[in-house]
Amino acid sequence: MALIHTELCDIVGIKHPILQGGMGPYKTEALASAVANAGALGIISCIGMAATLIPEAAPLDAERLFGSDPPAVILQKSIEAVTKQTRSSRGVFGVNIPVASEFILASKMFVEQTIESCKSDSDTERALRVVVTSAGNPKSWSVLKDEGFIWAHVVPSVYHAKKAEQAGADVIVASGHEGGAHVSWDPVHSMVLVPEVAKAVKTPVVGAGGFCDGATLAAALCMGAVGIQMGTRFIATTESDFEPMWKQAILEREERQTLVGRGLFGPMRFLRNKRAEEIVEQTLEDLPNFFLGEPLDSNEKILDLERTGFNDLMDAKEDTALMFGGEVVGRIQDLPSTAELIESIVREASEVLEKVPNFVIRE
């Protein structure tokens, strides 16, 4: 098998410079395990686990997703499960913890539980090496480094990348506007964002948003990144925790069939269907209030569309299910295993990088 080794591999302790994005509303235990076992960085997603702590924005029947355990226990059990499933391969995984102001109580709880899980089990301490924070201010989270974790923070701009570097992040994930789920209101896409962030900071940069194959991994490396993070592409794999309807929707959509509307922590990119169109319509109707500082929980229409959309997802109602996805859906046409996907990406990237000198005319 071809091999692309970058600084990211050394920092995290992985074979391939590929990160799985943290994707709600699921725990992504199965996907995290599969990605880690394939030599990349698997990620447990925490955002949905806090549903009971944010009842005004939670799915109406959150127990169908997570059971009745408290959020910290849900995370503890997920960490234990992925530790067990990656023990034989000695795969590496991490936890994604949103740190938005609306989520802050859950953020602190999940950080404490992640620390405790590592302290209480030597296998977990070896395998759970990374915490990825996102959707908020990085300033208060350097405690993660003090506890021995590799700390990555997701940013949508050069300004935020500099803030993450000042806070001490080990890795900066520069996430372009074309990505699925949480995005910035500012439509700065990866082709602009990634090279500019890589130039602006000394901290290693990972590209996110629009990356799905070897050509885009090679492009990220050429733009100064040390690896890529993929979300939408990993949903469309055989092992991922997402519904068959969601996976099929990704295969069927073209690049123009996503929409950005208001979500719990700000704008989010959805796969286009009736529910996504309703959220965008409500977003446009309420848009001035978002810039006047009105809290989201005062907008029951948006919240109800989001809540019921998750329930309809679980009930397989395709038109009204809430499904996230990036513009990259237009480049995804198959449903491989995670190992097959990662192997094909690395092989293609190696081939692309080897051929590039032949495209250049030298005088």
Given a cut of 50, is residue 298 above it in pLDDT?
A: no
Stretch 133-147: mean pLDDT, rounded? 89
Given a cut of 90, is residue 50 above it in pLDDT?
A: no
N-to-C CA span, the chain:
35
What DSSP element (H or E) covers 154?
A: strand 150-155
- CB atoms < 10 A from the CB of 361, how many? 5
| Cα Rg of the chain (Å, integer) | 19
Query: What is the bridge-based pairing of β-strands 181-182 and 266-271?
Result: antiparallel
pLDDT of residue 218: 98
Q: Rounded mean pLDDT of the chain?
A: 91
Contact status, residue 93 vs residue 41, Cβ threshold 8 Å? yes
Give the model confidence (pLDDT) of 326-339 as tens digits: 999 999 999 999 99
**Beta-bridge partners for 270:** 259, 324
Question: Can you say how many angstroms the Cα of residue 40 is from the centroid of all Cα atoms in its chain?
Answer: 14
**Beta-bridge partners for 267:** 262
Cα torsion 311, 314, 316, 318: sign: positive
291 versus 207: which is more confidently predicted?
207
- The pTM (predicted TM-score) of the whole model is 0.93
Given a cut of 80, is residue 296 above it in pLDDT?
A: no
Stretch 81-92: mean pLDDT, rounded? 97
pLDDT of residue 80: 97
Given a cut of 90, is residue 1 above it in pLDDT?
A: no
pLDDT of residue 115: 96
Pick from 176, 218, 172: nearest CA to 199: 172
Stretch 88-96: mean pLDDT, rounded? 97
pLDDT of residue 28: 94
**3-state secondary structure string across 88-142:** CCCCEEEEEEECCHHHHHHHHHHHHHHHHHHHHCHHHHHHEEEEEEECCCCCCCC
Pick from 216, 173, 238, 167: nearest CA to 345: 216
Given a cut of 90, is residue 169 above it in pLDDT?
A: yes
Given a cut of 60, is residue 359 above it in pLDDT?
A: yes
Cα–Cα distance measured from residue 44 to residue 247, given in angstroms and rounded to the nearest whole number = 19
- The lowest-confidence range among 153-162, 175-184, 284-293 is 284-293
Domain boundaries, the chain: 7-241+333-359, 251-314
Given a cut of 60, is residue 262 above it in pLDDT?
A: yes
Stretch 208-217: mean pLDDT, rounded? 98
Given a cut of 80, is residue 68 above it in pLDDT?
A: no
pLDDT of residue 295: 52
* 30 exposure class (CB count in 10 Å sphere: 0-12, 13-18, 19+): buried
Stretch 173-185: mean pLDDT, rounded? 94
Q: Residue 279 has which token pair?
A: 């959220």
pLDDT of residue 135: 85
- The CATH homologous superfamily of the domain defined by 7-241+333-359: Aldolase class I (3.20.20.70)
Contact status, residue 133 vs residue 152, Cβ threshold 8 Å? yes
Given a cut of 70, is residue 151 above it in pLDDT?
A: yes
Stretch 70-87: mean pLDDT, rounded? 95
Q: Residue 86 has which token pair?
A: 């990656």
pLDDT of residue 201: 98
60 versus 347: which is more confidently predicted?
347
Q: For residue 89, name the pLDDT band (cuts at 50, 70, 90).
A: very high
Given a cut of 60, is residue 55 above it in pLDDT?
A: no
Q: For residue 69, name the pLDDT band (cuts at 50, 70, 90).
A: confident
